[in-house]
Structures are given as C-alpha cells and as structure tokens.
Amino acid sequence: MSTRDPSAELEELRAQLRDEKVRHSEELRQFVYAVSHDLREPLRMVKSYTQLLELRRQQHSDADRQEFARQITDAVERAERLLADLVTYSHQLRALDQPASLVDAEAVLGAVLMTMEKSITDSGAQITHDSLPAVLFDFDQLSYLFRELIANAIKFRAEGTPQIDISAGTSEDSTTFSVRDNGIGIDPRYHEQIFGVFKRLHGREFPGTGMGLAVCKRIVEQRGGTIWVESEAGSGATFRFTVTH
C-alpha cells in the first residue's frame, strides 16, 4: 500500500498535466506557423501564373502558356501533398486511439517491403535485416516508421546501389530499432532540424513536404520512446528509435 500523501500525488499529477498542456500548445503553435508559411508559396504561384495566363494570353506562345499551366498544376499538386501530410500529422496530435499490443516487428517489416516493392525494384535497393523481435506497439504506426525510414534511404541515395539494413537490439527496458543506409548522409548541424515540421534540407532537389520525419518523431515520443540519427555528410545515415517495454 502506498504511504505517499494523496494531496502530493494529486499535485504531481496536476503538474504533469500542465507540462503536457504547455508542450502540446507549443507543438500546435509551431504547426500552425509551418502550415501558414508552407502553403503560402504554392498558392502564391497559382495566383501569379493564373494572372499571367489571363492578362497576357494574347502575348505568349503556346509553349509559354503550356509552361504556365504546368507551373500551376505543379503548385496545386504540392499544396495537395502538404494538406495530405497535414492530416497525417494532425492525427498524431490526438490522444492515442489504441493501446499498445504485442506486434511482430518482422511481420510488420515484411508487409512494408511488399507495399514498397516497386520503389525498391526501380531503385535497385538491396535491403537486409536481422531477425526482429515482437514489441509492444501499434501495427500501423510501426509500419509507418519502417516505411518512412526506408523510403528516405532510397530517396537520399548516393551513387551506386542503395544498401539498407534494418536491425534491432534489446535491453532490459527497451528495444532499439536501427535503419542504416549508404546514402548521401546528413551534416551533424541538421540532425535535430530534420525532425521538425516541414523541414527540408535540399529544397526541391528531392520531392516531398518535409513532414515524414516529424510524424515519425511524434509517433515514437507518443509511445514513450526517442528517435535520432547518426550521420556525417557523404557517409550514409543510421536512424534509430526506441520502443519501451
């Protein structure tokens, strides 16, 4: 039987709730700022090129008009991708819908690799993995983590064949999953930045909205774990995340 003062326990719980409220408020503030900032650019492009088509349609060749139309389509598609990723991220701001259950990580990875077969084949990626344990998690969320980290390894590949290895190590209180690649790597200056909402290091050189790793971070932390990257520019990257027991 606990000998702690009930009033002290209640005050501790209130403090935890206040801390959680402050953290969520800050996340929401950053989220709203990022949304307003990143959606503004494609919408501004749509407006500008639409005005060009309308005001100068008699002064431009068919090739010019086709290019304006292409730019409008590209901007609309970027806005649509942003909105889709916003919905995915916003789902992670809610309370957990499902409690953790025992999930076979190797089965999860197998399912993910099947859904990614085309991109793996097109890139020529060679993917290996150790025997992976069962962990207390959520099947869909673990699938998202594996899929996003493997997709990033393929996207940010260097010259030559992409080599991706997935492994896991278990300690007394947690399991650490690792996704290692031989890609272009990440300068240590940006190791924290890449997990922020809409954070992209390469501009439009690589497709994407910069939301994937932010969602990964939210999923892992929501389950009580941590996620980080170990990398140097030009030397590949290893992403690791923990799952508590």
This prediction has a pTM of 0.67
Indicate whether 83 and 16 sit together in one domain: yes
Q: What is the CATH number of the domain that holds 166?
A: 3.30.565.10
Question: In the predicted model, what is the mean pLDDT of residues 93-117?
Answer: 85
Query: Is there a domain that residue 192 lies in?
Result: yes
The answer to whether residue 132 scores a pLDDT higher than 80 is yes
Average pLDDT over residues 3-15: 62
The answer to whether the beta carbons of residues 162 and 126 sit under 8 Å apart is: yes
Asked if residue 107 and residue 84 are part of one domain, the reply reads: no
Among candidate residues 91, 117, 141, the one where a domain is terminated: 91
Helices (H), the chain: 6-55, 62-91, 105-115, 117-123, 139-155, 212-222
**What is the domain extent for residue 124?**
101-244
Count how many domains the chain has: 2
Residue 50 falls inside a structural domain: yes
Sign of CA dihedral 222, 223, 225, 228: negative
Q: What is the pLDDT of residues 190-236, one digit of tens each?
A: 999 898 865 555 455 555 556 789 889 989 998 899 999 999 999 99
User: Has residue 193 been placed in a domain?
Assistant: yes
Mean pLDDT over each residue of the chain, to the nearest integer: 79
Instruction: Select from 245, 244, 241 the least CA-distant residue to 216.
Output: 241
Q: Is the model's pLDDT at 103 over the cut of 90? A: yes
Q: 66, 91, 116 — which closes off a domain?
A: 91
Is 216 a member of any domain? yes
Q: Provide the pLDDT for residue 187.
A: 92
What CATH number corresponds to the domain at position 83?
1.10.287.130
The answer as to whether 158 is a domain residue is yes
Q: Which amino acid is at 56?
A: R
Please choose, from the candidates 124, 111, 136, 231, the residue with its C-alpha nearest in 3D space to the C-alpha of residue 180.
Answer: 231
Domain co-membership, 230 together with 167: yes
Q: What is the mean pLDDT of residues 145-149?
A: 96
Could you tell me if residue 96 is inside a domain?
no
Query: pLDDT higher for 32 or 144?
Result: 144
DSSP of 71-97, one letter per residue? Answer: HHHHHHHHHHHHHHHHHHHHHTTSPPS
Average pLDDT rounded to a whole number, residues 159-177: 95
86 plus 36 within the same structural domain:
yes
What does the alpha-carbon distance between residue 34 and residue 37 come to, in Å, rounded to a whole number? 5
Task: Please give the Cα distance from 135 to 227 (Å, whole number).
Answer: 16
Judgement on whether residues 79 and 107 belong to the same structural domain of the protein: no
Considering only residues 149 and 204, tell me which one the structure prediction assigns the higher pLDDT: 149
Q: What percent of the chain has pLDDT over 70?
A: 62
Do 132 and 216 lie in one domain? The reply is yes
133 and 233 assigned to the same domain: yes
Of 37, 64, 91, which closes a domain? 91
